[in-house]
A and B are shown apart, each in its own frame.
Chain A
Amino acid sequence: MSDCDTLRENLFAYSENELEPSLKEQLDRHVAGCGACSALVQQFNSMLGTIKTQSEAEPRPFAETRLQQRIENYLESAGKPLFSFSVRTLLQPAVISMGLMVALAIGILIGNGKAGKHASLTSATDLEMRHDLNIPENSNDDLINFTE
């Protein structure tokens, strides 16, 4: 394995100074005389340098105040409307179904009333017809049977 390959294999450790002293010295000598490896080490170190700047980045001013406010808002909103929302959610379908049931009951009552009236009219017509045809009112003969 050439020194160029050895460096590529150990670039991270070389840049972070984590190699054994003998290997470190060997690669130091190589890098000093090899333009490509020297450029590679420089590029790699420059890239690792961004870790330091990123790790030193601090939260923006008033980040704590903003966060405190957000948490307070959350706690307020989490406490307040939870109950009223659930009561409304539960009651709404119950009220609607009760209304529908009342409307259905009224409909049935009205329907029954009309049907009763119609029945009485029918029996009045029936009596008239029996009278016209001279059939006794208390006769068990059915008008339909008679007509047949």
Chain B
Amino acid sequence: MTDQELITGIVNREKPVIQYLVSTYHRQIIKTAFHFVQDMDDAEDLAQDVCIEILESAKQFRGSATFSTWIYRVTVNKSLNFIRKNKRKQLVRQFETFFSSSKQPGEVQHPEPAAENNGLHHEENRRLLEKAISLLPENQKIAFILSKYDGLSYKEVADIMNTSVASVESLLSRAKQNLQKNLISHFSEYANKK
């Protein structure tokens, strides 16, 4: 099915076309949303929002980008909006976790050592990286996630972000520098604690 046939079918609310849309793109949408929000339940909810947004705004699709690129854009926007809205909720959760733990105020929680991977469990590693990524500026975050987690080429990332390949390279380079800085400082802190 071509992009134009897909759009026409969606605009006309043709059931087989809408089913085709969901079956073809649900995996891409859920996976990308998951890479941003790091929760499968939230990613599935976001996939619903993305599909509805596509159904509602299909008429405005001009065809300047491919349908797949457009879906990526909608998914990224929905995911970033979700993260913004949930920032307050996460702060409250972190606050509760902090006070429910036995740690003293001001003491940073560090993962317990584990012999097999030099002191950091896989889940703790994942959380630390997630935290470091969350601190990145939005454009660097988008470029990094789409490139590293979704495995897209610089050209694909550039199309989704509506920018040049050179800009994507620069964003990724800065994202890596920032992540490296944040993570090294965490590791040194951890080494000092040991």
Contact = CB atoms under 8 A, between A and B. Distances in A.
Interface residues of B, number: 41
Nearest to B128: A47
Contacts of A82: none
A59 B27 contact: yes
Interface stretch (B44-52, B71-79, B97-105): B44-52
By secondary structure, the B interface counts as helix
Contact of A43 (B18, B120, B149): B120
Interface string B113-156: 00001111010011011000000000000000000111100000
Interface residues of A, number: 32
A55 interface: yes
Contact of B187 (A43, A57, A63): A43
Contact of B184 (A11, A13, A51, A67): A11
A74 B51 CA distance: 10
Contact of B31 (A44, A47, A51, A57): A57
By secondary structure, the A interface counts as helix
B40 A50 contact: no
Most chain B beta carbons < 10 A, residue from A13, A39, A59:
A59
Interface string B6-19: 00000001000011
Contact of A75 (B13, B38, B148): B13
Contacts of B51: 67, 70-71
Contacts of A67: 22, 26, 44, 47-48, 51
Given A54-B126, A55-B149, A67-B44, A75 B118 contact: no
B22 A59 contact: no
